[in-house]
Amino acid sequence: MAPPIVVQVVVDKPLAQGFDYLWDSEKLGSDPEVGLLVELPFGRSCLVGVVIKVSAHSEFKLDKLKSVSKLAPLKSFDPAALRLMNFASQYYIHALGETIIPAIPQMWKKSENWDKIPKKLIAAAEKKKKKMTQGKSEGFISESELNDEQRDALGKIRTCTEKEMEFKAILLQGQTGSGKTAVFLNWLSRVLEDTSAQVLLLVPEINLTPQLERRVRAYFPEKEMVVLHSGVAEKDRGIAWYEAMTGKAQIILGTRLAALTPIPNLRAIVVDEEHDPSYKQQDGIRYSARDLAIWRAHDVKVPILLSSATPSLETWMAAKTGRYEYIRLDQRAQGAGLPKVHLINTREPQNQFSPGDIGRPKDKSVVTKTLAHAISKNLEDKKQSLILINRRGYAPVLSCGACTWLSKCQHCTSYMVMHKAGALTKKSVLSCHHCGLAKSIPSHCPDCGNADLKTLGQGTQKIEDAIEQMWSDARVLRVDTDASKSSKGAEELFQEIHNGKVDIVVGTQMIAKGHDYQNIGLVGVLDADGRLFSQDFRAAERLFAQLVQVAGRAGRAGKDNQAGGDIYIETQYPESAVFQYLLRHDVDGFLSHTANERQEAGLPPFSYQALVHAEGRSLDKAIQFLAGIKGYLKKQSSISSALRVYDPVPKAVMRVAGSERAQLLIESDSRKQLQEALEIVDRELRENSQGRISKATRVRWLIERDPIAI
Ligand code: ADP
Ligand code: ZN
Ligand code: ZN
C-alpha cells in the first residue's frame, strides 16, 4: 500500500492554523501540490481551501483525518503569489486563509461549477477573439508624438529599469494633463514586446473611468488584456483572473482587488493616481494595494512606477530622499496653462447676493454672487461648468423650526439625509448613509407637531435644483452615486458630458477624478471648509489632492497661450495652507509644509500606526475591551517602551446600525516593533476569542495596519 499523503489546507476563517486532510491522488486525478484549490468537508458542510503544505505525517491520528473531496480545474498558485499572500497575511495581521480565499473570484469558489468551467473558458475565449478585432483607438499617443518633456521622462524611466531582475520604484509626478498616462503606456509597450511578459496596471476606481480602459486597449490592440474590478460580472471576472494566473493575459488592468491576482510572469507594475485613498481596502483584510504592489515588485525584482499629480506624502518623501527614482513632468501636454485659482471669501459681503440683485437664487446661501457671475460668463463662452459638492442627497439634516428636533438616525449617531424624489425613490425620503435605514419624510415634527420643517445645509440635489432655477436655459446634469444607480450608469453620464450635451454638471468627488473632459471652462467648489478641520490628520492632504484633481478637469484642451480654465473655491478661510498652496499650484510646497507638520507631531510617515477596532452592544464594553489591550501592552516589557499606546476613544460616528464602536491607536517609530506588538496582541486576543469575537465580552475586534482614516 502506498504511504498516506497528508496535506495542510487553509480556509476562509480567522484561524491561524491550517487543517490536515488526507489526499487520494487516484481519486482526485492528480498529485498534491502547494497552491492547489480544493474542496473539503468542514464541520457539517463543505468549504474550499488552498493547500499550503504536503507531507507524509500529521500530528493527528491518520484514521481521524477527513479527505480532500474535490480538486479545482486550476493550476496551483505560483510561488510568488503564495509569498505575496503570506506577506499580506502576516503584515496585515490576518489569517492566511482569510487572505487568500477572498482574493479568489467567486466563480472559482463554487465547487459545484468545477466540472463545467473548462467549457465556459473556451466559449469565453472565442467571444473575446471577436471582440478584439473591433477595437477603436482613443487617445493613442505614440512614442514619436510625445513632447520633449515626455520623451525625456520616458528615456529616464527606460534607463533606470534597463537591468533585468532589479527592483526599482519610480515616482512620476506631473501636473494633471501633463501626459503621464501617455508616458507610462509607452514604457509598458516596450516591456510587453516580450510576448511572455505580464504587466499589472492599477487604477483607483475603474468603473468611473472606462475611458482609461479604452485608452489602454488602444495602445495594445493585439495584446491579451483583462480587466478586474468589482463591477465586472462574476463569470467574466473568474475568466479574467484565470487568464492572469495562467500567464495568458499580458495586461492586467484593475482596481485594488487586482493587486492580489497571481501573475506568474510579472515584469512591471504601474500604480496610477498612487495617492488615491481608494487603494486602501476598508473592510476584511485592510490592505493598501499600492503598498502591496511595492512589496510585490521588490519581491519579484521588477520595476514599479507610481504616477500622480499630488503624490502621497509617503511616496513623495521616498522620492525626495532618493529611495525612489524621481521623474517629473511640469507642463500640460496639450499646450494649455494651468487653471487659474480664485478663492471666494464667503464672509465678504461683496461676494454675496443682496436683496434685489438680478439672478438672486431663492435660497441665497446656495452659491455666492461671484461664482454665479463666473458661471454666467462661462455659459456665454459656450464652455461647460463643473460644480463640486461632496455630499449627495438634498440636505444633510431636516430640522424643526419650533423645537430642537433634528432628523437623527435611531440606529446610528448620525443624521438622516433628506433625498428628494427622483429616479431612485418615488417619494422623498430620509436616509441614513451609515446603516441604510430609509423613512418617509414626516409631515409634522415628531416631537412638537409643528408643520414647518426646514432643511439644513445642502447636497447635490439641492444645488442641482437651485442651478436649474437660476439658469433655466442651461442643461444641468447631476453626477453622484445616486444618479449613477438610477436609469443611467456612471459611464453614460460621463458620455453626456464628453459629448457636450450638458452645460453645468453638479457632482460629488465622482466628477473630480481622471476624466479627460475637453470643454470644461470653470470648476466651482462648494462647502470645502468642512474638511479643513477634520480630526483626521490626513484630511487636508486629501482635500488638497482632490482640489488639484478637480481643478485639472478645467481647460485641458486649451490652445497655446490660452488660459487653462478657472477654479473658484468658496471658503470662509482663504488663508489656510491648503488654499494658499493651491493658489500657487505649489504641490511640492504643500507637501513640504505637511511633512514639517507631521515631523513635529511625530505622525506618519515619521512614525507607524495601527488601530484596534472594537464594536459591541455598548460603548462602555468596547472601551473597556480596548483598555484591556492597552494594559496588556504596557506589561510587555520587551516592547512597551517602543510604543505609544493612546487611550481608547469612541469612533467619529460612534453608533452604526445599533453597534457601538471605539478604537485604540498604537504608534511606534519602529515598523518592526509595531509589528511585534500587533502579533502579541493578535495572539492574546485570538486565544480569548471565537473568531474575532471576544468570548468574555462579545466585543468584535479587528486589527488594522497603516490606517488612513483615524
Ligand atoms: P495625465 O495622465 O498626466 O493626466 P494624459 O496622458 O491623460 O495626462 O494627457 C492629457 C491629455 O493630453 C490627453 O488628452 C492626451 O491624449 C493628451 N496628450 C498627452 N500627450 C500628448 C502629446 N504628446 N501630444 C498631444 N496630446 C497629448
Ligand atoms: Zn418640533
Ligand atoms: Zn443609521
d(CA 127, CA 134): 12
Is pLDDT of 586 > 50? yes
Is pLDDT of 555 > 90? no
d(CA 273, CA 310): 8
User: What distance in angstroms lies between residue 653's CA and the mean position of ligand 3's atoms?
Assistant: 10
Q: Grade residue 471 by pLDDT with cuts at 50, 70 and 90.
A: very high
Q: Grade residue 563 by pLDDT with cuts at 50, 70 and 90.
A: low
User: What distance in angstroms lies between residue 453's CA and the mean position of ligand 3's atoms?
Assistant: 20
User: What distance in angstroms lies between residue 654's CA and the mean position of ligand 3's atoms?
Assistant: 11
Query: What are 653-687's pLDDT values in tens digits?
Result: 999 999 999 999 999 999 999 999 999 999 999 99
pLDDT at 665: 97
Q: CA-based angle 285:287:292, to the nearest 5? A: 135
pLDDT at 137: 59
User: What distance in angstroms lies between residue 659's CA and the mean position of ligand 3's atoms?
Assistant: 10
Q: Grade residue 130 by pLDDT with cuts at 50, 70 and 90.
A: low
Does ligand 1 lie within 6 Å of residue 150's CB atom? yes
Is pLDDT of 556 > 80? no
Is pLDDT of 514 > 90? no
Average pLDDT over residues 383-390: 96
pLDDT at 527: 87
Ligand 1 atom having least distance to the Cα of 518: 14
Does ligand 1 lie within 6 Å of residue 177's CB atom? yes
Residue nearest to atom 16 of ligand 1 (CA): 139
User: What distance in angstroms lies between residue 396's CA and the mean position of ligand 3's atoms?
Assistant: 13
User: What distance in angstroms lies between residue 438's CA and the mean position of ligand 3's atoms?
Assistant: 9
Residue nearest to atom 5 of ligand 1 (CA): 179
Does ligand 1 lie within 6 Å of residue 142's CB atom? no
CA distances from 574 to 343, 368, 581 (A): 6, 15, 11
Return the C-alpha cell found at 339: 487653471
Query: What are 476-495's pLDDT values in tens digits?
Result: 999 998 888 876 788 889 98
pLDDT at 535: 82
Query: Which of 369 and 209 is assigned the larger pLDDT?
Result: 369
Type of residue found at 462:
K
CB distance 507 to 467 below 8 Å: no
pLDDT at 125: 72
- 3-state SS, one letter per residue, for 422-441: CCCCCCCEEECCCCCCEEEC
Average pLDDT over residues 246-255: 96
Does ligand 1 lie within 6 Å of residue 334's CB atom? yes
- Closest-approaching ligand to the CA atom of 451: 2
Neighbour tally for 572: CB within 10 Å = 12
SS3 705: strand
Q: Grade residue 337 by pLDDT with cuts at 50, 70 and 90.
A: confident
Neighbour tally for 358: CB within 10 Å = 5
pLDDT at 366: 83
Ligand 1 atom having least distance to the Cα of 215: 16
Ligand 1 atom having least distance to the Cα of 146: 23
Query: What are 62-103's pLDDT values in tens digits?
Result: 999 999 999 999 999 999 999 999 999 999 999 999 999 999
Does ligand 1 lie within 6 Å of residue 147's CB atom? yes
Which of 142, 143, 147, 181 for a ligand 1 pocket mutation test, highest count of atoms within 8 Å of Cβ?
181
User: What distance in angstroms lies between residue 139's CA and the mean position of ligand 1's atoms?
Assistant: 8
Is pLDDT of 354 > 70? yes
User: What distance in angstroms lies between residue 306's CA and the mean position of ligand 3's atoms?
Assistant: 38
Put the strands of the sheet holding 384-388 in their side by side order: 340-345, 566-571, 520-525, 384-388, 504-507, 476-479
Residue nearest to atom 23 of ligand 1 (CA): 146
Which of 138, 140, 141, 154 for a ligand 1 pocket mutation test, highest count of atoms within 8 Å of Cβ?
141
Average pLDDT over residues 269-275: 97
Q: Grade residue 513 by pLDDT with cuts at 50, 70 and 90.
A: confident
pLDDT at 603: 96
d(CA 375, CA 688): 61
Lowest mean pLDDT among 115-129, 178-192, 399-413, 451-465: 115-129
pLDDT at 338: 85
pLDDT at 554: 86
Does ligand 1 lie within 6 Å of residue 173's CB atom? no
Between helix 180-191 and helix 210-219 the angle, nearest 10°, is: 40
Ligand 1 atom having least distance to the Cα of 272: 2
Neighbour tally for 600: CB within 10 Å = 9
- Closest-approaching ligand to the CA atom of 449: 2
pLDDT at 124: 76
Is pLDDT of 640 > 80? yes
Is pLDDT of 210 > 90? no
pLDDT at 429: 94
Does ligand 1 lie within 6 Å of residue 178's CB atom? yes
CA distances from 187 to 56, 135, 687 (A): 48, 21, 50
User: What distance in angstroms lies between residue 187's CA and the mean position of ligand 1's atoms?
Assistant: 15
Does ligand 1 lie within 6 Å of residue 176's CB atom? yes
**Residues β-bridged to residue 23:** 5
CB distance 685 to 697 below 8 Å: no
CB distance 510 to 479 below 8 Å: yes
Does ligand 1 lie within 6 Å of residue 273's CB atom? no
Q: Grade residue 132 by pLDDT with cuts at 50, 70 and 90.
A: low
Which of 274, 516, 587 for a ligand 1 pocket mutation test, highest count of atoms within 8 Å of Cβ?
516
User: What distance in angstroms lies between residue 183's CA and the mean position of ligand 1's atoms?
Assistant: 9
- Closest-approaching ligand to the CA atom of 655: 3
Average pLDDT over residues 541-563: 79
CB distance 610 to 676 below 8 Å: no
Average pLDDT over residues 167-193: 95
What's the mean pLDDT when you consider all of the chain?
A: 92
CB distance 476 to 503 below 8 Å: yes
- Closest-approaching ligand to the CA atom of 437: 3
Ligand 1 atom having least distance to the Cα of 309: 3
User: What distance in angstroms lies between residue 517's CA and the mean position of ligand 2's atoms?
Assistant: 46
User: What distance in angstroms lies between residue 459's CA and the mean position of ligand 2's atoms?
Assistant: 23
Query: What are 405-447's pLDDT values in tens digits?
Result: 999 999 999 999 999 987 667 889 999 999 999 999 999 999 9
Average pLDDT over residues 384-394: 95
pLDDT at 119: 79
Looking up cell 440636505 gives 395
Q: Grade residue 206 by pLDDT with cuts at 50, 70 and 90.
A: confident
Q: CA-based angle 605:608:613, to the nearest 5? A: 125
